[in-house]
Chains A and B, each alone.
Chain A
Amino acid sequence: MNNYVIDLSLKPTTFDLWHVCLAGTVALLSLILIMLLLTMLVSLMRCRKKPVNFQAAPAPEPVVRIVEKIVEVEKLVHAPAKEPVVLKEATPDAALQLLGLLQQEARFIDFIKEDITAFSDADIGNAARVVHEGCNKALNEHFTLAVVRNEQEGSKITLPQGFDAATVRLTGNIIGTAPFTGTLVHKGWQVTSIRLPKLTLSHNAAIVAPAEVEL
């Protein structure tokens, strides 16, 4: 039988192909190990530098946080200017949620969906109070609204060169170059902060008002 005997005292007398292969593998592995150690060393040094940078300017950080929040909100208001071809798809959830809130607080859908032709103005007025009060409450609770222009409506204002065309819309006799002077017709509204309720994962936002059954 061909039994292998391990004898550590033996020394190879011939340098055959197997030995060449073995030596080559050892060389390759040690090369890889050296490269790995080097990359680790470099990355460690980079990491150490970072916290130094952070600690150098801790003070402005809180301010940055707030601005970040506002920018997020404004994204909802403006259309993205960079990619004019791709239009932003509005997520249906937020719209459904707002509809739900208006219905819940102000009976908004009930009011709009009802045929009002047969009713007297007094009756409609009564119902309008419910809707007005509720809408007011829902808006105040979930949005902070501010005017775009603080000037009195009807007063003359001047728009400098490079004014933001998204916040001010020009109408009428648009000729010449900025600065433009014109009458403020509408002061404009902007949402400065938005606080919509968070939804649980399984929540079906499409049910803006569940059917109600009294037992």
Chain B
Amino acid sequence: MSDWADHMQQGKVDMTENQADQGIIDEDSQNGTRYSVGIDLGTTHCVLSYAELGDIDDEQFLSHVMAIPQLTSPGSVEEKTQLPSFLYQAHEDELAEGSTSLPWTAKPEYLVGEIARSLGSKTPIRLVASAKSWLCHAGVDCKAAILPVDSPDEIERVSPFQATSAYLQHMRDAWQSQHPDAPLAQQDVVITVPASFDPAARELTVEAARAVGLGQAILLEEPQAALYSWIEKSHGDWRKHAEVGDIILVIDVGGGTTDLSLIAVTQQDGNLELTRVAVGDHILLGGDNMDLALAYTVKAKLEQDGKRLEPWQIQALTHGCRDAKEKIFNNSELDTMPLVVASRGSSLIGGTLRTELTREEVNRVLIDGFLPKVAISELPVSRPRTGLRTAGLPYAQDAGITRHLAAFLTKQQGATDELDDINLPEHASFLHPTAVLFNGGVLKAEALAERLMAVLNSWLSAEQAPEARLLAGADLDLAVARGAAYYGFVRKGKGVRIKGGTAASYYVGIESAMLAVPGMAPEIQALCIAPFGMEEGTQQELPDDEFGLVIGEPVRFRFFASNTRREDKVGTRLDYWTNEELSELDEIEITLPEESRRPGEVVPVHLCAAVTEVGTLELQAISQKDSGRWKIEFDVRAGE
């Protein structure tokens, strides 16, 4: 918490400084942009970091983390650097009138933050959590009110989109109340998203920002933000720690997701360049799984002694395990940590349950369970999903993070083929990273970080490759928000920019002209509409491939993405592909409006893909006749 106090004081100093040199700022406020603001919209926590653009000319970059005022319990407001990404749908009689006021509103529309998490821990049927993971969940309509999922019909639901907007709105209002003279809508805002977010999820995030008046916000991938933060923290020294030919593996294990990215260091005219060459799949596996795994281990131990645990006790146990685990990891002399679950009634001594968490259990469950020593050839276990599944998130079935990592590196073996500066040995069976950057609170535990490095290095040394080194000095909790704020500077032409572009190539499925065979689904061809690594602000058209669209009738296309096929150009047609190469996303839909045309008329169109400056993919159908343009929607599940 002392960190927190520092930030607060720094914040205060800044405020007074601002007031003092009002004269200088008045010039800037013509266009109103004074700050670069980075928002880490996390699965479990949101963080807002900002830096003044005024000091852009000197190399100094001074970023602050904003303390976000939020309700912590009914009637009390506290400032915390993290805003828990939870939303609570309180019953109308549950909270006293006026006990939910915030500094900027007497009655907020939604309860978010710490109060939502603490009320929701006792009333889970009213708690909305992990809205972000839903955004990237194929097969649900993210604008339909579906959360919380397993709750009685009486409870009012919100959509994942609304929940995301609510978190952004809270942060916007908090900013506004602290910086009344610098509206957030006028600042440079960067919102981070997982590298594995698909086009629809990115679009939804941007739309949520637009819904709260942050139309100018742009997107940045979280692993890139982590690397930006590391570059910024090194104060220009990063060039000494990275050299041409390096492949930096960014491993981001957050509360709910694991995100992997590869960034290559190359050279252009004597300057070092960074290129993001590959991103991993969206893996729903993180620190929360670890705490839960420990709690169930302890629960099993208690049940052997004949004690039955109620759900609230397991919850308390999970909290206890989180703290105990951290103490065991941080103190090498501690071999057992007592765990105590207090009774709920006012009698504390009588009803308290006591047990222990041992170092052996932590090692077995967390290190061997989540980071097993595996060979590079091992793949994540995936059981076929049972037919009847309740509507829920597609959580990773294999908890072995190292197995997911092995699969990623093997799959991306050819990621650097086109880069001359990077030479992989011929016998290599996977892409050899030379440096590793960690991100996410889980990897603060040294034991876990060491194991992850040990496993990776064992793969490397088995192929006579040099060991990968750990890039030190990263702030694992706040790096993403800080890096996002720094990205605002980079966009102004300061420092090095990571080249990336689209993280995948995209395809539409078209039925090939073949004789129909009874009982067989028609053959599908995949037509590439956007190549891998398409840069922001560019667009590509396929004028040769025509489609006839009927006015007024929606036409749906199957939509595919590949994060391995780098060589495909726009217009490339694939007749055959494996499931690993192309993964199917949600369908996309085009409807030509009836205005000024006859319903039923067939209009020839071709497709055009553009990557916006914001970082989203935009698909359009362009009429061959009069160059009319229609947007192609990603999120078509609403109509189902």
B212 touches A (CB below 8 Å)? no
CA distance A195 to B78 in the complex (A): 8
Q: Please, how many angstroms separate the alpha-carbon atoms of A197 and B67 in the complex?
A: 13
User: Quick check: is A144 within 8 A (CB to CB) of the other chain?
Assistant: yes
| Given A58-B21, A130-B342, A202-B75, A111 and B348 contact (CB-CB distance below 8 Å) | yes
Q: Tally chain A residues at the interface, Cβ within 8 Å.
A: 38
**How far is A130 from B341 in the complex, measured between Cα atoms in Å?**
8
A residues in contact with B99, CB < 8 Å: 200, 202-203
Distance A104 CA – B121 CA, assembled complex (angstroms):
14
One digit per residue, 1 when the CB lies within 8 angstroms of any chain A CB and 0 when it does not, for chain B 50-77 equals 0000000000000000000100111111
| A200 to B101 alpha-carbon distance, docked (Å) | 6
Tell yes or no: A15 within 8 A of B by CB. no
Q: Tell me whether B2 is interfacial, beta carbon within 8 Å.
A: yes
Q: A113 an interface residue at 8 Å Cβ cutoff? A: yes
Which B1-32 residues have a C-beta within 8 angstroms of A?
1-2, 5, 9, 12-13, 16-17, 19-21
State the CA gap A212–B346 with chains docked (Å): 10
User: Does B583 make an interface contact (CB < 8 A)?
Assistant: no
Asked if residues A200 and B354 are in contact (CB atoms below 8 Å), the reply is no
Whether A126 sits at the interface, judged by CB under 8 Å, is yes
B445 lies within 8 A of chain A by Cβ? no
Within 8 Å of chain B (Cβ to Cβ): is A201?
yes
- A200 touching B17 by the CB < 8 A rule? no
Number of A-B contacts (CB under 8 A): 103
Contacts of B103 on A, CB cut-off 8 Å?
198
Complex contact A126–B340 (CB within 8 A)? yes
- Closest A residue by C-beta to B4: A195
Contacting residues of chain B (337-351) with chain A, CB-CB under 8 angstroms: 338, 340, 342, 344, 346-350
- The reply to whether A199 and B75 contact each other, CB–CB distance below 8 Å, is yes
Residues of A within 8 A of B323 (CB): 133
How far is the CB of B108 from the nearest CB of chain A, in Å? 12
Contacts of A126 in B (CB 8 A): 338, 340, 349, 352, 354
**Chain A residues near B1 (CB-CB < 8 A):** 140-141, 144, 195
Say yes or no: A201 contacts B16, CB within 8 Å: no
A107: chain B residues within 8 A (beta carbon): 342, 348
For residue B495, give the distance in angstroms from its CB to the closest CB of chain A: 28
Pair B98/A104 contact, Cβ less than 8 Å = no
Note all chain B residues with C-beta closer than 8 A to A59.
Answer: 20
Interface status of B96 (Cβ within 8 A of chain A): yes
CB A54 to nearest CB in B, in angstroms, measures 8
**Chain A minimum-CB-distance residue to B103:** A198
Contacts of A111 in B (CB 8 A): 348-349
Contact partner of A200 among B21, B98, B338, CB < 8 A?
B98
The interface residues of chain B lying within 8 Å CB-to-CB of A61 are 16-17, 19-20
> Whole-angstrom distance between the alpha carbons of A114 and B348 in the complex?
7
CB < 8 Å: which of A65, A144, A203, A212 contacts B76? A203
CB within 8 A of B340: which of A119, A130, A200, A201? A130
Asked whether B98 lies within 8 Å of A123 as measured between CB atoms, the reply is no
Question: Do A130 and B352 have beta carbons less than 8 Å apart?
Answer: yes
Residues A62 and B17 in contact in the complex (CB < 8 Å), given A126-B352, A141-B1 = yes
Interface pair A66/B13, CB less than 8 Å apart: yes
**Could you say which residues of chain A place their CB within 8 Å of the CB of B79?**
195
User: Which has the most chain A C-beta neighbours within 10 Å: B19, B96, B352?
Assistant: B352
A129 on the interface (CB 8 Å rule)? Answer: yes
Q: How far apart are the CA atoms of A58 and B78 in the complex, in Å?
A: 31
Say yes or no: is A151 at the interface (Cβ < 8 Å to chain B): no
Determine how close the nearest CB of chain A comes to the CB of B63; give it in whole angstroms: 18
The yes or no answer to B97 lying at the interface (CB within 8 A) is yes
Contact pattern, A 165-205, Cβ under 8 Å of B = 1, otherwise 0: 00000000000000000000000000001010111111110
Which residues on the A side are within 8 Å of B77 (C-beta)? 197-200
7 A-B pairs with C-beta separation under 8 A: A61-B19, A110-B346, A126-B338, A129-B338, A200-B76, A201-B98, A202-B97
Q: Rank and list the top 9 A-B pairs by shortest CB-CB distance, nearest first.
A: A203-B75, A202-B98, A197-B76, A58-B20, A197-B78, A110-B348, A127-B349, A200-B101, A62-B13
* 4 other A-B residue contacts (CB within 8 Å) besides A66-B13, A195-B1, A198-B103: A58-B21, A107-B348, A144-B2, A200-B101
Q: Which residues of B contact A (CB under 8 A)?
A: 1-2, 5, 9, 12-13, 16-17, 19-21, 69, 72-79, 96-101, 103, 323, 338, 340, 342, 344, 346-350, 352, 354
Interface residues of A (CB under 8 A from B): 58-59, 61-62, 65-66, 69, 97, 104, 107, 110-111, 113-114, 116, 119, 123-124, 126-127, 129-131, 133, 140-141, 144, 193, 195, 197-204, 212
